[in-house]
Amino acid sequence: MTAGAGYAPYGTAYLLPRQPDPSSARIRLLCFHHAGGAASSFAGWRRAFPADVAVVPVQLPGREHLADRRAHHDARTLVAELDAELGPLLELPHAFYGHSMGGLIAHALADRRHRRGARTPELLAVGAMPAPHLERPVEAVRGASDAELVQWMIEVGGVPDLVLRYPEWLATAAALLRADLMLGSDSAGWTRDSVPLPCPIHVLAGSRDPLLTPEGAAAWARYTAAGCRVHEMPGGHFFTREHSGAVTGLLSRLLADRPGKGVERP
């Protein structure tokens, strides 16, 4: 049974239930959320982009409208499913933005498609995540207790103020994050021997992000044959929440000349 069983906007459950039809846009921006997060974190982005850019948040199992589906622990299986489920959209001009763990997912999906000769993104944008071959700082809390995990989430800004008022929500958030950490630590599943992508990579790095060093951001250069640029963003690890306008503004400018108008120049 595919992930789209019982739910069929564009044939896949990986999109939000009220996703506007993205097929007629000039370019589609597929957005992959962070560990412990959900596609709704990008829902407000649609109003921030020009009408010819379709924002398409991608939902992973185990949360929101897919809460009854088991969260993935195997990266290769997840990426293969995404390739199959999102295939029709990926045959049209598109770009990827992945935040934190979502950056690994976005890159692995682009790499899989490149290796099999399928269409690849016009550009890959990655936020708050070191290059795949480097150790991920989040590994330090993989074996933490629930209390330690919640405290870590609070310290890096991964818990919205509303959630802090409801302890039962915190427990659910911690359980989901723990499941996603298992996925993120699947070292065999994330591409480290990548064939360089034919599209540019843009790395968004929070100026106060304790989980991404300048070296970790710059190391993405080995994964592209079309140039890599690091953009410093205001804020910490979750600058997409703190300064969403700065992020959407940058991505809008990067997408303005896509597709088919050459490599983005610094």
Q: What share of the chain is helix, strand, coil (3-state, %, to 5)?
A: 40, 15, 45
Work out the burial of residue 145: count CB atoms within 10 Å of its CB; fewer than 13 is exposed, 13-18 middle, 19 or more buried: exposed
pLDDT score recorded for residue 54: 95
Residue spans per domain, the chain = 9-255
Predicted model pTM: 0.88
pLDDT score recorded for residue 105: 95
| CA end-to-end span of the chain | 45
**What are the residue ranges in the chain where pLDDT is below 70?**
1-11, 137-142, 158-164, 185-189, 191-192, 259-266
User: Domain 9-255 in CATH: superfamily?
Assistant: Alpha/Beta hydrolase fold, catalytic domain (3.40.50.1820)
Contact 57, 42 (CB under 8 A): yes
The tokens for 75 are 């990266």
pLDDT score recorded for residue 36: 86
The tokens for 23 are 């097929």
pLDDT score recorded for residue 10: 62
pLDDT score recorded for residue 8: 42
